[in-house]
Chain A
């Protein structure tokens, strides 16, 4: 017990909650689980999201999707860039989170946070360029105007990487946001704290509520809900390779029932996230729309 006036005080600790629809609910199930550091020390009781929480998150993502996709590309770019500004402001907390969670040294944790922020900026800059790079006019053999352009797929379920809890996370949630998808992300099961902090950053940014929804809990419980949910249009299975009790092929098979677009894990283990920055990661969550109109007088 610290006595006021003696220079020490009791710190105010954070309650770790979900981030759904722009709010921070606890799991409707009331469950939590212990998050421990790489060295085994107690860090937090995180919410253990239920199937119902996952369905609520999908509903929030669906509700937010038309508005986010309907914003101008310039506006989405500014809003996403603003997130990078806020990430920079929270640098110290992210460094502390991943030092504890991933067991990194201070300099390596700093480098990972820097890479994550830079990555966010890189993707933010794509919003008003993807259509120019991936879309085109088509010279059809007839008197028609014909234009193809990429559009967002819709609601994307993301299984975040299990090991790389911030750089990996950013590498899979920023790309689908670029073109106007909304995201439900299942955070790293053992290392969820950076994802929760990121939710807090997003809540104070200009990203509308529901555009990103963060679930913490057991990947094996939550991923099948997203994979089989009729209102989820695409899945990123990046984090399914190292998750307890999860086989990515089973999730892909569930997704087949609704013809979801599935971005498979690219290998049998997590990639080196430092290298995983690509336009393909954005295009994986787009649809080409082609519009025809006759020309005439």
Chain B
């Protein structure tokens, strides 16, 4: 039982109008899809929210043709300073309509309104604002004078941060003069479609951004379309590998942001209160459905028992439940399928001998839920220490020396992120040099900023998003492979 009881504080959903059905957004207008439709549900209640059109290959072909026309006639020749102003408009409109986007994101995704309101939507707006300013300054970005866009970019994004991943993809693509065909995730298409409505308000020229909804086959059609010059994908490593294989031998370029199995390394001299907060934020933010989640805690042996006790105490105070409630910390898992994967891997953890502890919290009767869970006595060979769970499940392992911590942290095919907790500055820098991960958070975790490059080593993918480095993959001169 929690020490404090809170009265319910639900955010109103009156701020957003959800249509009963949505078409595809192609060439500046909503159109029918030829591939049937799919239903998107609220994962917290399993209530159907809307029917969404499914794009088939002919729809994708229309979208790519529209993007090509827009690139050649409008967006490509347009001076960067003019492109910039459209992007600034988008940033401002996102801020103006932020509550609407936050509520819709929470309804469609299941994440707590606190997160969609304070993280997803403000960062999405910031992303457009940041890249808007680059549009007329590309000569200064370090890719030589007058760097050129690829042309038409096909982008496929995941369901864990639907609007934010859209912003990460679209903002740099448009700033550099590319046009876009974007496929949102099948379980979370609604904020992308609301974004299409926002683009109409911004009067973005038709065809510059096209949004084609659907599932895997729609994404494969986007990636495989011969008119697509560059592919940008965020999602699982398995799908990322299949995309890399699909475009092998072509002249298509790719950016891949794939899975992770980050180590959060805690030394005995760490600032323990901050470390506990950072670990909790690292794995329970967005129900752990984060590719850079700190899903493995590596704790220096003498601190193990104290850290685990404190973690359990802190997790006991997290509130799981209605994502629309402003006091909710842990929302719903995005889909039945994802819940099944989390459940299966957790069962494997127990079966392989790790010790499971789950926070004692009431699970709502409908919807998809998983309590914050910590595994101790985990060995490096256990599946829960090797495979990406993508859920609120933390594995605790130990180490004795900094070298052992580095070896264990790097002992994974992934290399997206890592955390270091210690008060000793020289040790932070020594560790940061040796960790094979694209983002290293020291005495903090899960921080994101449009100015800061993000992306993986090894099987966590290639290319960077964010910052000056995030422009390169969208420029012919900046794409080094």
Q: Are B438 and A139 in contact (CB under 8 A)?
A: no
| Residue in A closest to B434 when the chains form the complex, CB atoms | A66
Which residues B273-324 have CB closer than 8 A to chain A? none
Q: Are A290 and B462 in contact (CB under 8 A)?
A: no
| Residue in A closest to B417 when the chains form the complex, CB atoms | A290
Q: Are B453 and A290 in contact (CB under 8 A)?
A: yes
Contact check: which of B244, B449, B467 meets A259 at CB < 8 Å? B244
Q: Are A289 and B440 in contact (CB under 8 A)?
A: yes
Contact check: which of B237, B461, B469 meets A148 at CB < 8 Å? B469
**Chain A contacts of B459 at CB under 8 A?**
258-259
Q: A139-B451, A141-B449, A253-B248 are in contact. Are A259 and B240 (CB under 8 A)?
A: yes
CA distance A256 to B440 in the complex (A): 25
Q: Are A290 and B439 in contact (CB under 8 A)?
A: yes
Contact check: which of B441, B444, B449, B457 meets A287 at CB < 8 Å? B457
Q: Are A288 and B447 in contact (CB under 8 A)?
A: no
Stretch of A49-57, A209-217, A242-250 lying at the B interface: A242-250
A 282-293 to B, binary, CB cutoff 8 A, 1 in contact else 0: 011001111111
| Residue in B closest to A135 when the chains form the complex, CB atoms | B469
Q: Does B142 make an interface contact (CB < 8 A)?
A: yes
Q: Are B449 and A138 in contact (CB under 8 A)?
A: yes
Q: Are A144 and B126 in contact (CB under 8 A)?
A: no
Q: Does B215 make an interface contact (CB < 8 A)?
A: no
Contact check: which of A133, A146, A255 meets B452 at CB < 8 Å? A146
A 242-273 to B, binary, CB cutoff 8 A, 1 in contact else 0: 00000111101101111101111000000000
Contact check: which of B248, B251, B444 meets A144 at CB < 8 Å? B444
**Chain B contacts of A153 at CB under 8 A?**
457
**Chain A contacts of B480 at CB under 8 A?**
263, 280-281, 283-284
| Residue in B closest to A248 when the chains form the complex, CB atoms | B249
The binding surface of chain A is classed by DSSP as mixed
Q: A256-B241, A259-B462 are in contact. Are A138 and B452 (CB under 8 A)?
A: yes
Q: Does B150 make an interface contact (CB < 8 A)?
A: no
Q: A138-B452, A148-B452, A248-B249 are in contact. Are A256 and B244 (CB under 8 A)?
A: yes
Determine how close the nearest CB of chain A comes to the CB of B11; give it in whole angstroms: 24
| Residue in A closest to B446 when the chains form the complex, CB atoms | A292
Contact check: which of A248, A252, A289, A293 meets B442 at CB < 8 Å? A293
Q: Are B248 and A256 in contact (CB under 8 A)?
A: yes
Q: Does A181 make an interface contact (CB < 8 A)?
A: no
**A136, A263, A284, most chain B CB atoms within 10 A:** A136
Q: Does B134 make an interface contact (CB < 8 A)?
A: no
Contact check: which of A133, A136, A140, A250 meets B249 at CB < 8 Å? A250
**Chain A contacts of B462 at CB under 8 A?**
259, 261, 287
**Chain A contacts of B464 at CB under 8 A?**
288
Q: Are A148 and B444 in contact (CB under 8 A)?
A: no
Q: Are A262 and B481 in contact (CB under 8 A)?
A: yes
Determine how close the nearest CB of chain A comes to the CB of B273; give it in whole angstroms: 14
CA distance A248 to B249 in the complex (A): 6
Q: Does A134 make an interface contact (CB < 8 A)?
A: yes
Q: Name 20 extra pairs, CB < 8 A, besides A140-B449, A153-B457, A259-B258.
A: A136-B468, A138-B449, A142-B447, A154-B436, A250-B249, A252-B248, A258-B413, A259-B458, A259-B461, A261-B462, A262-B481, A264-B481, A284-B481, A287-B457, A287-B462, A289-B438, A290-B440, A292-B452, A293-B428, A294-B443
Q: Which A residues are closer than 8 A to B by beta carbons?
A: 133-134, 136, 138-142, 144, 146, 148, 153-154, 233, 247-250, 252-253, 255-259, 261-264, 280-281, 283-284, 287-294
28 contacts between A and B (CB under 8 A): A134-B142, A138-B452, A141-B449, A142-B447, A144-B447, A148-B453, A148-B467, A148-B469, A249-B249, A249-B250, A252-B248, A252-B249, A256-B245, A256-B248, A259-B240, A259-B244, A259-B462, A262-B248, A281-B480, A284-B481, A287-B457, A288-B438, A289-B439, A291-B439, A291-B440, A291-B442, A292-B442, A293-B428
Q: Which B residues are closer than 8 A to A by beta carbons?
A: 126, 142, 237, 240-242, 244-245, 248-251, 256, 258, 413, 428, 432, 436-444, 447, 449, 451-455, 457-462, 464, 467-469, 477, 480-481
